[in-house]
Homo-oligomer: A and B are copies of this chain.
């Protein structure tokens, strides 16, 4: 198995849960936020998806890549469609990464002040998703969803 395929599998164990959580929300939940300056549920979810693409494109390019502007959606259905579309983008680009990308240095000075191997950027991306997905669990429970999946696919 290529390094990319192995990493993609390990990341998808979490992404599939993120998508499942979004499967349970309704239009009126999109603007929920737990405290006054928090990201809304919609913003938090989209931050996960656009950040993943940002990190993956950065690894592919070997340097910080432009971030996609945060999209805005009007319905839960639209959010789910966008989530699937952005997941496919992530998966496709990720799968195209040759093994060498994992050890090649990525210029991350703008973001963290140093160059790090591609593998470290991808781990940061995966950790970032688990972190915000954890928050999304609390959001989804707080808006009244009663049954949530385990935090990861096993």
Q: Which residues of A contact B (CB under 8 A)?
A: 10, 14, 34-35, 38, 112, 123-124, 127-128, 130-135, 137-139, 141-142, 151-152, 154
Contacts and interface: CB of A to CB of B under 8 A. Distances in A.
Copy number in the complex reads 2
Given A124-B152, A130-B130, A135-B134, A142 B34 contact: yes
Contacts of A152: 124, 127, 131
Contact of A141 (B34, B112, B139, B151): B34
A102 to B, nearest CB: 15
A139 B138 CA distance: 9
30 contacts: A10-B123, A34-B34, A34-B138, A34-B142, A35-B138, A35-B141, A35-B142, A38-B138, A38-B141, A112-B154, A124-B154, A127-B130, A127-B151, A127-B152, A128-B151, A130-B130, A130-B131, A130-B134, A131-B131, A131-B133, A131-B134, A131-B137, A132-B134, A133-B134, A134-B134, A134-B135, A135-B135, A135-B138, A138-B138, A138-B139
